Structure formats: C-alpha cells, structure tokens
C-alpha cells in the first residue's frame, strides 16, 4: 500500500471512530439492564459438516455442546432468554446467525466450533474479532468463514474482511470488545481448570463475529484431527464437562457484567495481558496502588486529545493490542467510583474503575486487599 493510500485509510478510520463513538456509547447503555438474552450458535450444520475427525464431523460436536450449554443456562437462569441459531442438523447462513443475535438484541453471542490441524495439535482457544497475528490464526478464520461456499450469492453478500474493515468495525464496537475479552478469558480459565491445554484468547477475522453487535466470542473446543481430542470431544461425559466449563464462565461473566462498577477484571497469565506502559510519573511508584476510571477502548490509537474526550485530561495505556483511555488518579477506590458516576453522566455509560500497582494493572479485589494491608 502506498504512503498516500495508507494515510487516507488511517484518516478514514479515525473519522469513523469519532463519528460512531456516540452510537457505541448509546448502545452500551443497555448493559446496565443486565443479561436478558444469550444466543448460542453451534457452528456449521446441514450440508456444511465443518472439519472432520476419523469418525465425526464438527457440526455434530458443536450442536451437542451448544445444546448442553444452553440447557445449563436455562436451568440456572430461567429468566434469561436462550436463543439457538440451530437446534437440529440444518444449515444456517453466516450472516443469518449474526442476524438472529442482532434481531433478538442479545447481550452475549457464543459461537461454538471444533478445530482442525496437525494430528498432534491439542487444546482449546477462544476468539474475539480482530486482526490475526499468525498464519495459523488466519487459516482458522478462513476455514470457519468458508461456510459461505454453501450459500447462494455469497460473493455479493459478503464484503472482504480487510485489515481496515476489521479495525473500523472494532472501533465501532469498541465498547463491547473489552466484554468479549472478559468472557473469553473466563472460558479459557475454566478450560484450564478442566485440564484442557490452554491455547489462549486470540483475535481473528471471523465473519460471524464481524456482523454481530454485542459481546461475541467464537470457541474452538479442540482438534477433531487429533485422535485423543476427537475421542474426548465426541464423548457425552466430556461434552457435559466442556459445556459445564462454558456455563461456569458465563456465570462468572454475568456477575462481572451486572456488577455495580464492572471492575472485576479477571487476572490472567499469557496470552491475556493486562500489563500497561504508563507514561506519567505519578503512577511509577511500584509499591503504591492507584485507581483510575477507564472511559474508552479503541483498536486504533486516536490520541488523548481526541474530540470525544471533551477536553478532559486523559491518560492512555495499551494492552491486548488495544488502546485504553482513563481519567483521574486516586489512592482510594471510593474517589474513583465517584468520578466513574460523573463520567457516566457525561455520556461515558460504560466507564469503570481500574487499578494499577506501579506499571501493572491489577484486579480491584487485589487492589483493595493491598490497600487494606
């Protein structure tokens, strides 16, 4: 790409981010109502079998696990509307899967898949929408996106997911991206607790995630091309365990999502990196806990003087390849909570409190314990 084209593209994305910030803030206002609707999307189906093991198809595994996840949620939370993109062996087009979630105004979209790779490949991974970092991640996205080959007029109905298109979409839905990552992290945490190999939370350009307008994840439950993994994923007891892990992650995420300040971020090891790179001298005392109020997240660095920040003094940090913007600096959580309310009244409805110990972002619980000690 030429330098001129790159600059035009970058300017276009920045303009989009400013224009749609008000839309994103308005959309996320519904978060405070709690989780009312969850859409479960078992991947593939009908004439689209997905990937193959020696004796199984992806569409069968995803449907079984998906139905079990939904059943767990329905039993534990009868007030939640659980919607399935499919409950039988039928083919559902990718854009219709996303449309089902959008029409039902889902608060969470859970897309369930099984993976393919070398015979020794093992483990589970969970994806959010983003730019792939590795060739392997690109291939996974291409394989799952290939379901459109079974759809009529797919060449005219689906736009090519260029890097610019994905970044622009991330900006449009930036208020949901943190929530997607939070749920994904909890899924992986539960998989590890189950004894599964942790392949981490990753980003890639999945069409079905690109078209949804709520926190959305795609779970690759394991490799059907690995005989031991296939045996595990096709066993009904193991499927119950996997579904139970996803449900437990949902329970934990629900508590976080509906909490008063949405500040109970999950502490994770790699590849969930909550490390920060502070630039102000006030936060560099590595022994002192400090609190800030996070008001925005973007995929592209829009700068602390962006118009959406209303001329406020903003401090930015970076994690998960995302740029996060905060205001305020306090040595006690109550002052930060007061500012959080003020920010919500200013239109930053998804504002929440974050804590740092020196250069490290930590959970609010850990910060409070350290402060008390």
pLDDT > 60? residue 5: no
Closest C-alpha among 208, 129, 140 to residue 169: 129
Q: Report the alpha-carbon distance of residue 101 to residue 211 in Å, rounded.
A: 10
Length of the chain: 373
Question: Of 120-124, 222-226, 251-255, 256-260, which gets the smallest average pLDDT?
Answer: 256-260
Residue range 29-74, pLDDT digits in tens: 444 468 999 999 999 899 888 888 999 999 999 999 999 999 999 9
The domain 34-257: what is its CATH number? 3.40.630.40
Q: In this structure, what are the phi and psi dihedrals at residue 173, rounded to the nearest 5 degrees?
A: -110, 25
Per-chain mean pLDDT for the chain: 76
Residue range 112-168, pLDDT digits in tens: 999 988 899 999 999 887 644 445 544 544 544 444 454 455 455 545 545 555 455
Residue with the bigger pLDDT between 276 and 197: it is: 197
Residue range 280-326, pLDDT digits in tens: 434 445 568 888 998 888 767 888 877 777 778 888 888 766 788 89
pTM above 0.85, yes or no: no
Q: Report the alpha-carbon distance of residue 160 to residue 213 in Å, rounded.
A: 18
Strands 352-357 and 289-298: antiparallel
For the chain, the domains span: 34-257, 281-372
The domain 281-372: what is its CATH number? 3.30.70.1070
């Amino acid at each position: 790409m030429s330098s001129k084209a790159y600059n035009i593209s970058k300017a276009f994305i920045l303009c989009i981010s400013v224009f749609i910030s008000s839309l994103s803030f308005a959309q996320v206002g519904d978060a405070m109502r709690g989780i009312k609707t969850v859409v479960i999307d078992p991947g593939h189906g009908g004439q689209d079998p997905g990937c193959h093991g020696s004796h199984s198809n992806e569409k069968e595994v995803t449907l079984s696990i998906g139905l079990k996840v939904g059943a767990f949620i329905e039993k534990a939370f009868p007030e939640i509307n659980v919607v399935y993109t499919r409950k039988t062996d039928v083919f559902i087009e990718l854009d219709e899967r996303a449309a089902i979630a959008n029409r039902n105004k889902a608060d969470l979209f859970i897309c369930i898949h099984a993976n393919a790779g070398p015979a020794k490949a093992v483990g589970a991974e969970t994806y959010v929408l983003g730019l792939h970092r590795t060739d392997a991640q690109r291939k996974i996205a291409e394989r799952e996106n290939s379901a459109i080959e079974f759809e009529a007029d797919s060449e005219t109905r689906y736009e090519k997911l260029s890097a610019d298109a994905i970044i622009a979409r991330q900006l449009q839905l930036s208020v949901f991206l943190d929530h997607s990552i939070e749920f994904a992290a909890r899924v992986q945490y539960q998989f590890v607790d189950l004894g599964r190999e942790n392949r981490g939370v990753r980003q890639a350009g999945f069409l079905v995630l690109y078209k949804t307008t709520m926190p959305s994840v795609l779970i690759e439950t394991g490799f059907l091309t690995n005989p031991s993994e296939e045996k595990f994923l096709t066993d009904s007891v193991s499927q119950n365990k996997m579904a139970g892990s996803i449900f437990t992650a949902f329970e934990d995420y629900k508590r976080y999502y509906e909490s008063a300040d949405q500040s109970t971020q999950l502490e994770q090891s790699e590849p969930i990196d909550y490390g920060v790179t502070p630039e102000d001298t006030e936060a560099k005392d590595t022994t002192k806990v400090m609190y800030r109020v996070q008001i925005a997240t973007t995929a592209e660095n829009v700068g602390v003087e962006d118009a959406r920040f209303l001329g406020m003094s903003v401090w930015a940090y970076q994690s998960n390849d995302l740029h996060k913007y905060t205001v305020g600096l306090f040595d006690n959580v109550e002052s930060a909570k007061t500012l959080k309310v003020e920010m919500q009244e200013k239109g930053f409805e998804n504002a929440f409190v974050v804590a740092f110990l020196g250069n490290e972002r930590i959970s609010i619980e850990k910060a409070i314990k350290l402060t008390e000690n």
